[in-house]
Structure 1
Amino acid sequence: MSTSVDSPWLAVRDEITGVLSAVSPAQMAAAKAMLADRHRRWFCSGQGRSGLVAQMAAMRLMHVGFDAHAVGEATAPSISRGDGLVMISNSGETPVTLHFARLAAGFGAQVLALTSRPTSTLAGLANTVIHVQTTETGQFGGSLFELSALLLLDALILELTGNDTDAHATMRARHANLQ
C-alpha cells in the first residue's frame, strides 16, 4: 500500500476494493445458500481480531432474526447436527480454529470458512469456503483480511435480507437497548 500522508484512508479503501473485487461470486452464492436456512443455528468464531469480526457477524445475524451465537460466550448453547459454524482465519491454520472446525464437523454441523488460503487445513474441513485474496499491504497485521471478511459477511447478510421488507424493523427491535 502506498500511503499518502494526506489520504491513507483512500489507500485502505483501494486495497479493500481490490480484495472484494477478487472474491468468487460462486463462493458468495454458496455461502448465501448455506446462510439462507433460517432454521439453522449459527455459531461464529475466530481468534484475535478475526474473533472480533466473528462476534460482529453473530451480532448482525441475531439483529436480523437468526439464532446466532459467538463461540465462547457464556450463553452460547452446544452445537449440533444441522447447525452452522462460521470460522474466520487468515492463515486457515490457527490451532484453536481447526479444533473448533473439527468438533463442529464431528457433531454434524456445516462449516463456512473465510480464509486467505484456499488450500489451508481449515478450507479442507469446511463445507463452503470464501477465499479472501489478500495482497501486499501497508496495513498493520491482518487488517486487510479482517476488514474484508467483515465487509463480506455484512454484504451476505444484507443480500439475505434484501427481499425482507421487515429486516430493518427487525434489526431495530432486536438491537441492544440496555446501553
Structure 2
Amino acid sequence: MDSRQIAQSRPWLAVGQEITDLLGRIDAVAFARLVQAFDDPDQRWFFSGQGRSGLVAQMGAMRFMHLGRTVHFVGEVSAPSIRKGDALLIISGSGETSVSTGFARIAKAEGAKIVTLTHKPAGTLAGIADVTLHVPVEKSEQFGGSLFEQSCLILLDSIVLGLAQQTPDAHKLMLSRHTNLQ
C-alpha cells in the first residue's frame, strides 16, 4: 500500500510516518547544540512563535517550567523585559515572520542568546540566531505547517525528556509544578 492509500484509509499512520521520516533527518550534531543551549538551569528563557508555532512554543515553555526553569512566553502580561544573559527561543517555519525577526533583533541588541527552530536554515531568523535547528520539512500531505509544528513539539519534548533524565525524582518534581487551578 503506497502512502496515498495509507493517508486515505488510515490517516493517523500517514501523519505518524511523516513525523518519523522528518525526525530521522534531524542533524544529531545540531540537535546536541540545541540541547547544550539549555545547559544553564538558572538562565531565564523567553519562548515565542506566531500562529500554531506560537502554540507549540507555549507548550514547550510549560514543560520547561515544569522542570523548574524560569520561562516566559513573549506577549504574556507577566513577561518581563529580556536582558543580557537571557535566551529567546523562536519557532518559525519560514524564518521570515516579521514579528519573530523583530523580537530576535531586539533580544540580540539586549545581549540575549537567540535559539530558533526553522525549516529555512538560510532565512533571516537563522542569520540572527546563535543556535539554529533545521527542521527539514520537504513535503507533506498535511495542510500548512502541521508537520513542522508537530515535529517542533516532539523536539522540545525530547530536550525536556533528556533534562528530566538527569534530575532525581523529575516526574515528582514536575508534577508538583503542574497547575492545580483546573
Q: Which runs of 4+ in 1 moved over 2 A?
A: 1-6
Q: Does 1:135 align with 2:138?
A: yes
Distance 2:152 2:90 in 1: 11
Pick which of 1-10 and 49-58 moved more: 1-10
Q: Identify the residue that residue 22 of structure 1 maps to in structure 2.
A: 25
1:139-173 deviation line (CA, Å, top 9, x unaligned): 01100000000100110111122121221111100
User: Which runs of no fewer than 5 residues in structure 1 stay unpaired?
Assistant: none
Q: Identify the residue that residue 162 of structure 2 maps to in structure 1.
A: 159
Distance 1:74 1:123 in 2: 27
Q: Identify the residue that residue 90 of structure 1 maps to in structure 2.
A: 93
Superposed, which structure 2 residues align to 1:1-179 within 5 Å? 2=4, 3-179=6-182
Distance 1:114 1:162 in 2: 23
1:76-110 deviation line (CA, Å, top 9, x unaligned): 11111111111000000000000000011111110
User: Which runs of no fewer than 5 residues in structure 2 stay unpaired?
Assistant: none
Check whether the contact 1:28–1:156 (CA below 8 A) recurs between aligned residues. no
Q: TM-score, normalised by structure 1?
A: 0.97
1:6 deviates by 2.5
Identical columns (%): 50
Distance 2:106 2:173 in 1: 32
1:32-59 deviation line (CA, Å, top 9, x unaligned): 1111111110100000000000100111
Over the residues paired in the alignment, what is the CA RMSD in angstroms?
A: 1.0
The count of aligned residue pairs is 179
1:4 deviates by 3.2
